[in-house]
Structure 1
Amino acid sequence: MKIHHIAIICSNYEVSKKFYTEVLGLNIIREVYREERQSHKLDLAIGEHYVIELFSFPNPPERPSRPEACGLRHLAFAVENVEEKRNELIHKGLVCEEIRIDEFTDRKFFFTQDPDKLPLEFYEI
C-alpha cells in the first residue's frame, strides 16, 4: 500500500535527534527510552506524516562504506526547491554536494549526510 516508516540506528542519540529535528525540521511524534534495551526511540514526522524511527543502541557497528554498502543506500526527501534547501543546509553547517540533474527525469537533486554518514538526498519535485 505504501511505506510506513524508515528505521535508523544512530551512534549518538542527542546529536542525531538535534540533526533530524533542528537541522532537517522533522516533527517529534513520540520519544521513549526503553530501559531494558538501553535504547531511545524517537518517532519523527514530516508535517503530519510519520516517516522515521530513530533508535539508539549501545555500540552499534559503523556503516561499512558510503554509499555502496549492502543495505539501505540512501534516504531521499522531496523538496520544492533544491537550491533553497541546499543553501539552508549549508547555512546550518552541512557539507552538501553540488546539485546534479537526474538523467532520466531531468529533476535536480543533491546529497549530504546525517551525523552517522547516512547519505541523504534532496530531490526536487
Structure 2
Amino acid sequence: MPNKPGWLYKYSETLKQETAYHCESGWVFCQDGTKYSPTEIRQLQKAGITALPLKVHTVKKVFEGIIVDIRHKTPPAAVSRSEQAKQPTTAVQQKPAAVQPEQLKPIKKADDIYDEYGRLQIW
C-alpha cells in the first residue's frame, strides 16, 4: 500500500497482510479489501477481543459482512402455525419510545492500534 498522509500502515502478523489505519476517521483497511468501520471496532471491543483473530477476519471477508452486537437482542417467541395464521400479516413493530442512541467512545491515537508484534489491536 502506498503511504499517504493521515494514514498509519502496518503489517498484521495475525492477518498475514498489510493494513492501513485512517488516523482521523478510525477506519481500518486491509490489503485484501476488507474494511473495518469505527463502529465495528467498538463492537469487537465490547466482546472483549483485544487482537483481531484471523477467523473473525475470514468470516467477515467471505460473507462481506458487518460486525454487529447481538447479545442484547431477544429472539422471537416460538409461535405455532395455528397461532401464526391468527395474527394479521400487516403487523407493524414499534420501537420503544425511551431508546437513546449509544454514546460512542473516541478513537484512540493511531500509535495504539497495533501492538509491538504488529498485531491489530482492538482496545
Which structure has the larger Rg? 2
The structure whose RCO (Cα within 8 Å, separation 6+) is larger is 2
TM-score bin, normalised by smaller chain: under 0.3
Which structure shows the higher strand fraction?
Answer: 1
> Which structure has greater helix proportion?
2
User: Structure 1 length as normaliser, TM-score?
Assistant: 0.22
